[in-house]
Structure 1
Amino acid sequence: MVEVKIKPLADRVLVQPDPAENKTVSGIIIPDTAKEKPQKGTIISVGKGKKDEPMNLKKGDRILYGKYSGTELKWEGEEYLIMRESDVIAII
């Protein structure tokens, strides 16, 4: 796992999205313009949570999130998302 020196605040998490699919199951190559945004990723770091709500997520969790969730961030050549814990749909 990548070590990043970004520490999210409150109930936010830093997520490294999975790469977009290059091929369909049947072997058709998907062009860059038609690729879907990934909706799966790995949590890289987590905030401390809110005063009355501790964090349920932890570093290393594999998650599903909404298609338009989070704020995109590019750091040291890598793509990340910062989102609230409530934007996470499920842990896989």
Structure 2
Amino acid sequence: MKFRPLHDRVLVRRIESEEKTRGGIIIPDTAKEKPQEGEVVAVGAGARDESGKLIPLDVKAGDRILFGKWSGTEVKLDGEDLLVMKESDIMGVLEGAAASKKAA
């Protein structure tokens, strides 16, 4: 993929939630909410402060994050639905989530 976000923007791939509840009930597509968890695909160089100094972003490619329900702008790149959002729309980084997911 040849896309580089500008400034303090981040490219995010949504991580789909489970198809079943803990009790085994299958959730149909029409009842599902959009996931609020995602993986950072690419990040911009950072924002600039009042003096023009570059402030790097706190997130990096590969981080698993939580973001607001209505955050970002949906885009389609290489046939894949992705989100472009500002770093300020990100609520936090899930620590250790990527390692536990890979082990499973």
> Normalization by structure 2: what TM-score?
0.80
> How many equivalent pairs are there?
89
Aligned to 1:36, the other structure's residue is in SS state coil
2:86 to 80, 84, 87: 84
Counterpart residue type for residue 78 of structure 1: E
Which structure features the higher share of helix residues? 2
Q: Tell me what 1:46 maps to.
A: 43
Asked if the contact 1:42–1:61 (Cα under 8 Å) also holds between the matched residues in 2, the reply is yes
Distance in 2 between the 1:79 and 1:26 partners?
30
1:15 to 12, 16, 29: 12
1:66 to 52, 65, 68: 68
Deviates more, 1:45-54 or 1:35-44: 45-54
- Where does structure 1 differ by over 3 angstroms across 4 or more consecutive aligned residues? none
Aligned to 2:81, the other structure's residue is in SS state strand
Percent identical pairs in the alignment equals 56
**Residue 54 (structure 1) shift:** 2.0
Counterpart residue type for residue 11 of structure 1: D
Counterpart residue type for residue 37 of structure 1: K
Distance in 1 between the 2:82 and 2:17 partners?
13
Pairwise CA RMSD:
1.0
Distance in 1 between the 2:91 and 2:23 partners?
28
- Structure 1: state its 5+ residue gaps: none
**Residue 21 (structure 1) shift:** 2.8
- Structure 2: state its 5+ residue gaps: 50-54, 95-104
Distance in 2 between the 1:39 and 1:30 partners?
17
Larger Cα-atom Rg: 2
